[in-house]
């Protein structure tokens, strides 16, 4: 699977950080880690996804037509909900739903006791068994879907926590809330969804790299879904990362301007 990558312009931030560092005792590494923590926190806060209420209402809609695997449409005379129709499509290996999800949630139709298939039981009785099974599976699916509300957002959490918990993180003049747990219903450890790596703080140059790895499970996940998750992450969260970088850049530029206007002398670290 070809990897999808989103690039964000950080040239403004890279230009202002050395200037800002020259006016204070914060090292370049400390400023970079602090800025990264702020960016990830804002990206996480700004990223919004479908609410649980909207997810439920979408699954409870009763479509007027039903489309078969072959593409033929017929009236929805049994008034199946969208959620129940999804369950039915999951029982067909070649359905559009299974193809679009790589068969991740494929279902086997319920096994019915052979005795109940005898002439003593009419077709309506068998249909009722199947209908009740579909309704039960649709409710299970609805509850499971609730955990996906902030799945794409969760990839920022572990990366951010690694930044703000570092001794290099210095948040003195731009105090902001670190934020709470994201998506507590998600079964995947957030460490699988995102990470932050830091270079040597004592080296002449410092590099800090954060990654939201949703949709990039290194071959361990479902290839079809991985690609969809990654594309959704870039489409929905990508612009918010850009906004977060712009916000942090503006904060650094404003602080730099304040120090220049106040006549604060540049700090010579060699003499400290």
For 149-188, write each residue's pLDDT tens digit.
667 778 888 899 899 889 999 875 454 555 545 555 556 6
The verdict on 35 and 167 lying in the same domain is yes
User: Over pLDDT 70: what percentage of the chain?
Assistant: 81
Residue 254 covered by a domain: yes
Which of 148, 172, 196 is a domain's end point? 148
Mean confidence (pLDDT) of the chain: 82
Q: How far from each other are the two terminal CA atoms of the chain, in whole angstroms? A: 52
Find the angle CA(63)-CA(64)-CA(67) to the nearest 5 degrees. 80
Q: Place 69 in a pLDDT band, splitting at 50, 70 and 90.
A: confident
pLDDT of 122 strictly over 70: no
CA-based nearest residue to 210, from 177, 254, 172, 248: 248
The verdict on 43 and 101 lying in the same domain is no
How high is the pLDDT of residue 245? 95
CA-based nearest residue to 91, from 58, 126, 57, 130: 130
The verdict on 141 and 157 lying in the same domain is no
- CA 72 from centre of chain: 35
Answer with the residue of higher pLDDT: 147 or 17. 17
Q: How far is CA 233 from CA 5, 155, 161, 164, in A?
A: 10, 9, 19, 23
How high is the pLDDT of residue 17? 92
Look at the chain and report how many structural domains it folds into.
2
How high is the pLDDT of residue 2? 46
Q: How far apart are CA 261 and CA 265, in angstroms?
A: 11
Residue whose tokens read 């959704």: 232
Which of 96, 129, 148 is a domain's end point? 148
How high is the pLDDT of residue 198? 95
Query: In this structure, what DSSP letter does residue 193 have?
Result: T
The verdict on 90 and 188 lying in the same domain is no
Residue 1 covered by a domain: no
How high is the pLDDT of residue 3? 53
User: Are the beta carbons of 160 and 40 closer than 8 angstroms?
Assistant: yes
Answer with the residue of higher pLDDT: 147 or 166. 166
How high is the pLDDT of residue 45? 85
The verdict on 96 and 187 lying in the same domain is no
Q: Place 28 in a pLDDT band, splitting at 50, 70 and 90.
A: very high
The verdict on 156 and 250 lying in the same domain is yes
Phi, psi torsion values for 171, nearest 5 degrees: -120, 70
Residue 6 covered by a domain: no
Q: Which domain holds residue 92?
A: 52-148
Residues 6+ apart with CB under 8 A from 22: 266, 267
How high is the pLDDT of residue 1? 40
Q: Which pairing describes strands 65-67 and 73-75: parallel, antiparallel, or unpaired?
A: antiparallel
Residues 6+ apart with CB under 8 A from 207: 198, 199
**What's this model's pTM, rounded to 2 decimal places?**
0.75
233-251: pLDDT as tens digits: 888 888 999 999 999 999 9
pLDDT of 88 strictly over 60: yes
User: Are the beta carbons of 55 and 149 closer than 8 angstroms?
Assistant: yes
| 32-36, 132-136, 165-169, 178-182: least confidently modelled range | 178-182
Q: How far is CA 94 from CA 46, 85, 102, in A?
A: 38, 15, 10
209-237: pLDDT as tens digits: 998 888 775 445 678 888 888 888 888 88
Determine whether 145 is exposed, middle or buried from the number of CB atoms within 10 Å of its CB (0-12, 13-18, 19+): middle
């Amino acid at each position: 699977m070809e990897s999808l990558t989103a690039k964000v312009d950080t040239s403004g931030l890279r230009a202002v950080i050395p200037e800002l560092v020259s006016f204070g005792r914060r090292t370049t590494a400390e400023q970079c880690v602090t800025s990264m923590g702020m960016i990830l926190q804002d990206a996480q806060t700004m990223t919004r996804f479908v609410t649980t209420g909207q997810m439920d209402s979408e699954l409870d809609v009763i479509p007027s037509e039903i489309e078969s695997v072959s593409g033929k449409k017929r009236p929805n005379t049994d008034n199946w909900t969208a959620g129940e129709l999804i369950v039915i499509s999951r029982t067909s290996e070649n359905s559009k739903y299974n193809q679009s999800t790589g068969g991740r949630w494929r279902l086997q139709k319920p096994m019915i006791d052979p005795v109940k298939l005898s002439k003593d039981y009419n077709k309506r009785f068998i249909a009722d068994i199947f209908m009740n099974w579909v309704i039960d599976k649709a409710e299970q699916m609805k509850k499971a879907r609730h955990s996906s509300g902030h799945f794409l957002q969760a990839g920022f959490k572990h990366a951010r926590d690694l930044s703000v918990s570092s001794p290099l993180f210095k948040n003195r003049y731009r105090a902001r809330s670190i934020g709470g747990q994201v998506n507590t219903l998600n079964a995947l450890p957030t460490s699988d969804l995102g990470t932050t790596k830091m270079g040597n703080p004592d080296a002449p140059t410092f590099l800090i790299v954060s990654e939201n790895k949703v949709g990039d499970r290194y071959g361990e996940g479902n290839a079809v879904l991985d690609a969809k998750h990654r594309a959704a992450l870039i489409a929905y969260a990508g612009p918010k990362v850009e906004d977060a970088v712009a916000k942090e850049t503006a904060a650094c530029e404003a602080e730099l301007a304040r120090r220049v206007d106040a006549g604060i002398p540049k700090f010579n670290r060699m003499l400290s």
